[in-house]
Amino acid sequence: GCYPEDTANFADELIGLLEKNYAILDPHLRRCLAQALILIRNRGRLAATTLLPLFFRLFRCSDKRLRSLLYKHIVVDIQNSNKKHRDERLNRTLQNFLYTQLQDDHETCAKKSLAVLTELYRRQVWVDQRSVNVIASA
């Protein structure tokens, strides 16, 4: 990419900004920052495991458009990660994170986690026994 040394910490700065101030940021700005992180992720300059916890924290916002954007990105991102070959280690890490989110006190986070799991099952991405059992028991 352009200016690699100048942009080396850019994603970390965006993540830090959103983590600290997501509740008080203007909804449009919050959405733009999330879109910037999604773009960086799509360019392969950020790991899915880095963004997922932040995005689930952002599900706590009462911004429906933001939640919709994040949900769609999470599903498509995991689906694309499994398109060429199944990275079992990554899948296990992501699944474990989603399973823990099902126990979240915040209802929206738990619901979105279940929605991601069921959508990935529906799209035939995660059809292993463990995922099915978690969905069934949720």
3-42 residue pLDDT tens: 777 777 999 999 999 999 999 999 999 999 999 999 999 9
70 assigned to some structural domain: yes
The residues, ordered by sequence, that sit 6+ positions from 74 with a Cβ below 8 Å of its Cβ are 52, 55, 116
The domain in which residue 97 lies consists of: 10-137
* pLDDT of 1: 60
pTM of the model as a whole: 0.93
Q: For 88-126, what is each residue's pLDDT tens digit? A: 999 999 999 999 999 999 999 999 999 999 999 999 999
Report yes or no on 133 lying in a domain.
Answer: yes
Report residue 121 CA to chain centroid gap: 16
- The verdict on residue 113 lying in a domain is yes
Q: Is residue 3 part of a domain?
A: no
Domain count, the chain: 1
Q: Using alpha carbons, select from 128, 124, 98 the residue that is nearest to residue 113.
A: 98
3-state secondary structure at position 104: coil
- In-domain check, residue 4: no
Residue 74: exposure state from Cβ atoms within 10 A (0-12, 13-18, ≥19)? buried
